[in-house]
Amino acid sequence: MAKLSPSILTADFTNLGEMLQVLERHPASGWLHLDVMDGAFVPNISFGPPVIRSLAGKTKLRFDVHLMVEEPGRFMADYVTENTEYLVVHQEACLHLDRTLQLIQSLGVKCGVALNPATPLSALEYVLDKVDQVLVMGVNPGFGGQSFLPVALAKMKALSEWRQARGLDFKIATDGGVNAGNLQEIAAAGADIIVVGSAITNAEDPSAVLEQFGSILEGGA
Ligand code: DX5
Ligand code: ZN
């Protein structure tokens, strides 16, 4: 069954500790998705290693770090904490993607590659057997609260078939525009890890939304 990877990008940072407690209490949350933006690869700046390090050890959620930065190899080691499970780089940001994936693995964490909506799956053909996660963007990266682009559904279905045909076992993740109305369809398209930002963190009752998402994933309401 798919699990959620809640993103705190648009959360209220003055209440982050409280939000983490809400997120980790619910069994539908598998990871904490951390969106790093550098104002160059994407037109927005979020947070970086100091914030991520300050969260490490304070939650039992594993970190799923999404690097929306140019030349992600430069500061890679700074994102490795006791909580870090995945370091995910963008295919479009890596001139030497294979080398960057090797670097992540050499740091003792799992590696992922994200694809922008316009990037074809074929860009991953020669690294697919090396990745632990493929992140199919449901929006153009940079901001929370955007609408889901259905092209991500077709990509996840094709990726799922590709994974089966090649006997691989990487996780399929999607990020952006997920809400209660499209969650079921997204899970059915083959997502194992579903990143959700504003629908949870900006809800009046984040706990209730997690509950609702959890039951949708379990095939309930
Ligand atoms: C967008 C980020 C997302 C963002 C998703 O560039 O990578 O992780 O937080 O936010 P929502 O769920 O609001 O689209
Ligand atoms: Zn993200």
Which tens digit of pLDDT belongs to each residue from 197-209?
A: 999 999 999 999 9
**Closest approach atom of ligand 1 to CA 10:** 9
Select which of 12, 35, 129, 192 is catalytic: 35
Catalytic, 35? Answer yes
Catalytic, 175? Answer yes
Over residues 174-195, the pLDDT tens digits come to: 999 999 999 999 999 999 999 9
Task: State how far the Cα of 137 lies from the Cα of 156, in Å rounded to an integer.
Answer: 10
Which residues are CB-contacts of 59 (< 8 A; sequence separation ≥ 6)?
20, 23, 24, 32, 83
Tokens of 8: 């705190």
Task: State how far the Cα of 63 lies from the Cα of 60, in Å rounded to an integer.
Answer: 9
Asked if 214 and 24 count as a contact pair (C-beta separation under 8 A), the reply is no
Mean pLDDT of the 115-135 span: 98
Global pTM value: 0.98
- With cut-offs at 50, 70 and 90, classify the pLDDT of residue 107: very high
For ligand 1, is residue 90 a contact (CB within 6 Å)?
no
Fold type of domain 3-219:
TIM Barrel (3.20.20)
DSSP state of 144: S
Res 133 pLDDT > 80: yes
Q: Indicate the domain borders of the chain.
A: 3-219
Ligand nearest to the CA of 88: 2
